[in-house]
Amino acid sequence: MLSSFVDIVFRGGAKTTRTKLLMAFVISNDLEHSRKYLKVLTEDGSNSKQIVTDVYNMLISERVRAYYPEIFEKTTEKREETMSSFTTATGVKMRAGTVGTDQRGQLQEDARPDFIWFDDFETRKTLRSAVETKAIFDNMEEARTGLSKDGGSVYTCNYLSERGNVHRLVQPLPGREVLIVPIRFKGQPLWDAYTMAEINRIEAAADDFAGEYLCVKPDTLVLTKWGWKTIALLRVGDKVVTHLNREQKILRIMQSNANDLLDITVNGKVVTITKNHPVLVVRGSTKDWVPAGQLTVKDFVCVIPHGKLKV
C-alpha cells in the first residue's frame, strides 16, 4: 500500500500549485471525511501559512461553492492575510507548521494528522549546517510516524544534495514512491511550458542549474570494490565506494546537460564535477563538505586509499 510520495521537481515546475489543487480536491471530494486533519510543514513558517490560505481561498471561491456549498456554509470572503489554520463546516481541519519544531505525535488517535504535506523543507541555507539538516529530518520522521492509522504523506521538493534530506528520501522504502522530474532530459524539455531557448536562458542566469540533475561527466571515474570505472558504465544496483569508504548501491541514475562544470586536479588526477557538488575537505583543523565552486588551491581534499575498502 502506498503511504508516502516524494515529488522532486525542478524549480518552477508548479509542484506546489498542483499539490494545493490536490488538497482542495481531497477536502471537497472525501465524502466520508476519512482525512479530517491535514497538516502542511515547511522550513519557513510563512510558506506553510500561505499554502493554508491559498487552499482556503480555493474552497470558498464561487466556482467551488457552486458544487460544494456544504464546505463553508456561511463564509464567502477570501482571506487577504495569511492564516495558520482553518476548519470546514464538515469538520475537516488544515493547519500550517514548520519542520524546525518538534513534531511528536499525540497519544490520542483523533489528535494525530491523517495527512502531512512537507513542502520546500530544505534550502541551501539549511544544507550549510549538518546539525540543522539532521534536526529537520528527525522532525519530519517524528511527524510521519505520528500519523493516524493509514495516514499518508507527500514530500514536494526541488533541491538534491548528497548532504541533504531530499537525497535521503530517494532511498527505497516500503510504501514510498519517488518521482524525479528535471527541467529537461536528453536535450528536450520535460514540460511544454518551457522551450529549449527559455531553458538555455534559465541555465545562463542560474547559480546552480545542474546541481539537482548531474554531478559528473559520463567519462568520470568512480571507485568500486573492483577498481575505477567510468560512471557511464554503471547501472542501478551496482555498488560504488562512498566517502565513508563503504559500499553503497546505486539507486537512481539521472541525466542532464550541464555546462557549469569544473575540473579539479588532486594528486595529478582530474575530476570534472558541477559547482554545487559537495567535496570533503580539510581546512585548518576542520573537516567539512564544501561546494566544488568554493574550493581553493589551499584546500586539502579527502581521498580514499584504494585497497582499504571496509565491507
Question: Which residue range is the domain that position 282 belongs to?
Answer: 221-301
221-225 — which CB contacts under 8 Å span 24+ positions? 221/271, 223/304, 223/306, 225/309, 225/311
- 150 and 226 share a domain? no
CA angle 147, 151, 156 (to 5 degrees): 90
- Grid coordinates given for 258: 550541464
Number of domains within the chain: 2
- 166 and 42 share a domain? yes
- 231 and 171 share a domain? no
Note the pLDDT tens digit of each residue in 151-184.
Answer: 999 999 876 666 678 878 877 678 888 887 777 7
pLDDT at 131 over 80: yes
For residue 23, count other CB atoms closer than 10 A to its CB.
22
The answer to the question of residue 174 being in a domain is: yes
All residues at 6 or more sequence positions from 113 whose CB lies less than 8 Å from its CB, including other chains = 37, 38, 39, 143, 146, 147, 148, 151
Note the pLDDT tens digit of each residue in 197-206.
Answer: 888 787 777 6
Note the pLDDT tens digit of each residue in 38-80.
Answer: 999 999 999 999 999 999 999 998 888 888 988 887 776 777 7
- Mean pLDDT over residues 264-283, rounded? 75
- 153 and 50 share a domain? yes
**How far, CA to CA in Å, does 123 sit from each of 60, 129, 135?**
32, 11, 14
Note the pLDDT tens digit of each residue in 77-101.
Answer: 777 788 999 999 889 999 999 997 7
Domain CATH code at residue 16: 3.40.50.300
pLDDT at 144 over 80: yes
- Mean pLDDT over residues 12-40, rounded? 90
The answer to the question of residue 127 being in a domain is: yes
The answer to the question of residue 281 being in a domain is: yes
Q: Give the integer Cα–Cα distance in Å for 86 and 68.
A: 17
- 176 and 295 share a domain? no
The answer to the question of residue 187 being in a domain is: no
Q: Give pTM, 2 decimals.
A: 0.69
Q: Give the integer Cα–Cα distance in Å for 8 and 159.
A: 8
According to the model, what pLDDT value does residue 100 have? 79
Question: DSSP characters for 115-148?
Answer: EEEEES---HHHHT-HHHHHHHHHHHHHHHHTSP
The answer to the question of residue 310 being in a domain is: no
